[in-house]
Structure formats: C-alpha cells, structure tokens
Amino acid sequence: MFDLIVNFLSKLGLGGLLAGVYVEAMGLPFPGGIMVVIAGILIEQGKLDFPSAFAITFFGYSAGAVTAYIIGRHLGQPFFERCSKLLQISPERFEKAQIWLDRSAPAFIVFGRFVPGLSNLTPYMAGVSRIGFWYFLFYNSLFTAGWGLLYLMVGMFFGYNYQAIARSLNSKLPLVGLALLLLYFIYSYAKKQLKNRVKNL
C-alpha cells in the first residue's frame, strides 16, 4: 500500500494529492490522510514543495467537505438511508451524531472528524441540519488547516518511519479529539453555571 501510494503521488504529483484528499473529505473509504503524510515525505525529498502541498491539501479537503455538506443539505436524511452501506452509517450512528451536533455545532464540525464512526458523517450532518454555509466553512477550515499541517509535518520530520507513525496517529488522534471535546464541554458547562449564578445574584 505504501509503495503504491508513493508511486501514485510521484507520478501524479499535486493532482493526485488533490483527488485523494477530496475523496477523503467526502467520508468515503480512501487513504487520503496517508497520502498527505506521504506528500510530506516527498516534500522532504525535494519532489514537492510545502506551500503548494499545503494549499492543495487545504483546498481539496475543503472542496470535498463542501460537496458533502451540499449533498446533505439538499438530499437530507433519505440520502443516508439509501447510501448507508457505502458511507458505513448505521441508524444508531446517525442518531448519535445528531445529538452531538444539536449540543455543539462547532465542536462537532472541528472535533467530529477525529472520532471513529462519526468522522465520515460530519459534513453531511452539518448540511442535513441546515447549518449556515459560511458557519460550516469557517469551522471546517479550522480543522482542515490543523489536519493538513499535522499530517504534512509528520511526513516531513519522520520520513520513512511512516508505518510506526501511522499506527500511532490512528490509535492516539481519536483520543486527542475526545480529550479536546471533553475540555470543550467542561468549559461550556462551567460558563453556563457561572452565567446562572450571576443571574441569581
């Protein structure tokens, strides 16, 4: 798989990276994140340059997420029912994602991508819930910039130790996302309690 993606990116360059992250952002089963890490390796080797690779990663992922958002906004929940197997979405996952989104749309858009089982739902659910387009684009851009930068840096600084790094990312990034989400909810709860106390004074 590793050699196949290296050859793919070496031959197609930034166009291959654009296609890979676009498909990844749409939540389809595709190793787009791995392609970004390998793009970082190719940057280290002088085969790609960082500004172009980062810009393509950001644009491709944003375009894929916006496409998924538009699909969710215009086709709604029936789309998920028809394409549940392709997107690996069960009714339970859909309901769980909806509850999380109702509680905090920014947290869902930014951190939902880190959570296994919900990551491929994030842009579609934002569209189904009819979250404002620019609102979605802003928070999705925050995630996209951080995600792209992190994965490119991993490739650049750790090079051909890719397999060990990929295993570490796959096992720990979801935990980091969950930890950040927990901190966000703790902050929101504390803020709400403080506001209630001020009102009662």
pLDDT digits over 160-185, tens only?
Answer: 555 565 566 555 556 656 666 677 67
Quote the pLDDT of residue 56. 95
Q: What is the pTM of this model?
A: 0.70
Q: Which residues of the chain have pLDDT under 50?
A: 198
Residue 110: is it exposed, middle or buried by C-beta count within 10 angstroms (0-12/13-18/19+)? buried
pLDDT digits over 84-101, tens only?
Answer: 666 666 667 667 777 767
Element (H, E) at 113: none
